[in-house]
A and B are shown apart, each in its own frame.
Chain A
Amino acid sequence: MLADLRAHFAASGVLEVETPLAGPAAGTDPALQPLRARYTGPGYPWGVELYLQTSPEFAMKRLLAAGSGPIYQVCKAFRDGEAGRLHNPEFTILEWYRPGVGLPALIDEVATVARLALQAPKLAVECHSYAALFDSRLGVDVFAADAAALRELAVQNRVPGADRLVLERDGWLDLLLSHLVQPELGADSLCFVTDYPASQAALARLNRDGRTAARFELFHRGIELANGFDELTDGEQQAARFESDNCTRRARGDTPIHVDRHLLGAMQHGLPDCAGVAVGLDRLLMLRLGLRDIDDVLSFSLQRC
């Protein structure tokens, strides 16, 4: 599978890069927890705390700002607190960026790459906006509904135990998506969900309507496979999102994450307009081989390594 993917990128002029897996700064996304490590030695006689990267995004954006052109990477990523049938704290990401390319073109390429990886050249593609999906599956306007209305919807649709959950608005959206919508997505297609609510923009730029973000996800057979952005390039907005993420972390009692000053510097210098995407290769391999558990495609999962 890796050989097929590398051949695709070599043929289309995308440079393979490597970036550090461990560094003193990391992503601030409140939904992602990095693992921590410690380096002591020349340069840091008293030691420095390092994060194992939750994705190679920031370092790759610094390369883009330095004029790398289109780049891709196959690397390990680490996320604390995630283990299950579809999760392992250490997993493999394929991430790539194309400067000067918009989301529709990137979605086309993700479909090409997914078909290649799944050995399913004829797999159909469908695209739905997040709002249209919620409207057609659950009959709800995601922009108008407040947390109480979303909770009511979860209870009505018999999400087990929904009546006693305490969640914020985006948490309810995540519950509805993961329990009621996602299992049916991409049953026999590559299903792209686009235009996520602005509150779930992560590192995507906002669309002109101000209420959606230029972010998409790919689902196949109910499994989330990829997350892509038309990347936010505005350094000030990026700094504001770091700050707000860390506020969210502090508010719930988590330690804030060291903000990546180098990334902000690179963005001020000028990150070219670009689209980028991260693909979970372990899950792709699972689907290619028809396996049910991420354990089955890892040499040794955390329980066994």
Chain B
Amino acid sequence: MATYSTNEFRGGLKLLLDGDPCVIIENEFVKPGKGQAFNRVKIRNLKTGRVLEKTFRSGESVEAADVVDRDLQYLYNDGEFWHFMDGESFEQCQADANAVGDTTKWIKEQDTCMVTLWNGTPIAVEAPNFVFLEITETDPGLKGDTSGGGGKPATLETGAVVRVPLFIQTGEKIKVDTRTGEYVSRVKDE
């Protein structure tokens, strides 16, 4: 069992707390001049996404969580699980709906996603920052509109709905920022 002492604490370190993998967001050293030292840390639970605070006695050891982030290719969804593959080892793993969460609405087969693995099992999947998706449905646009004041909703091939400028048409491909869910630009197919 690997452990970390509080002296190793820093943002990004992965710990096992109450059975769940967590990542340190913030670590503050607190010590009265003539007294006990503490590490007060802000932690995100990687399974639930919840942020919580904890206090440790400085010098304590805490169990490490075997958590790694890997870039994996999304293969397919079998109705229950989303399957991913390592492009080098060709190893595959499956993520459940909890792990994939909202990311499903952005990714399509062959996209590369950052998958967080805990003891080899996916617990979170992050879509690429930018995805390129085709519009399957949107209201016909107005001729001559180039700035798109306000815009209109458009449904993408993955099912996500984003606001696009009025000149964008069904069948066109667009670039979307998955962190904000916003339209970035039109993509010309080569």
Binding site for B on A (CB under 8 A): 29, 31-32, 81-87, 159-162, 165-167, 170-171, 173-175, 177-179, 182, 200, 202, 217, 224, 227, 280
- The complex places the Cα of A166 from the Cα of B36 at a distance, in Å, of 12
B55/A81 in contact, CB under 8 A: no
The proximity string for B residues 152-165 relative to A, scoring 1 for CB distances below 8 Å and 0 otherwise, is 00000000000000
Q: Contacts of A177 on B, CB cut-off 8 Å?
A: 32, 35
- The complex places the Cα of A173 from the Cα of B38 at a distance, in Å, of 12
- Interface residues on chain B, number (Cβ under 8 Å): 21
Task: Select which of B28, B35, B59 is within 8 A of A174 by beta carbon.
Answer: B35
- The complex places the Cα of A288 from the Cα of B34 at a distance, in Å, of 24
A162/B35 in contact, CB under 8 A: no
Task: Select which of B36, B40, B54, B56 is within 8 A of A171 by beta carbon.
Answer: B36
A-facing residues in B14-35 (Cβ within 8 Å): 28-35
A170/B56 in contact, CB under 8 A: no
B55/A227 in contact, CB under 8 A: no
B33/A227 in contact, CB under 8 A: yes
A84/B29 in contact, CB under 8 A: yes
B102 part of interface (Cβ distance < 8 Å): no
Task: Select which of B33, B54, B58 is within 8 A of A81 by beta carbon.
Answer: B58
- The complex places the Cα of A159 from the Cα of B36 at a distance, in Å, of 15
Q: Contacts of B28 on A, CB cut-off 8 Å?
A: 84-85
- The complex places the Cα of A84 from the Cα of B37 at a distance, in Å, of 11
A81/B37 in contact, CB under 8 A: yes
Q: Contacts of A171 on B, CB cut-off 8 Å?
A: 35-36, 57
Task: Select which of B7, B29, B36 is within 8 A of A31 by beta carbon.
Answer: B36
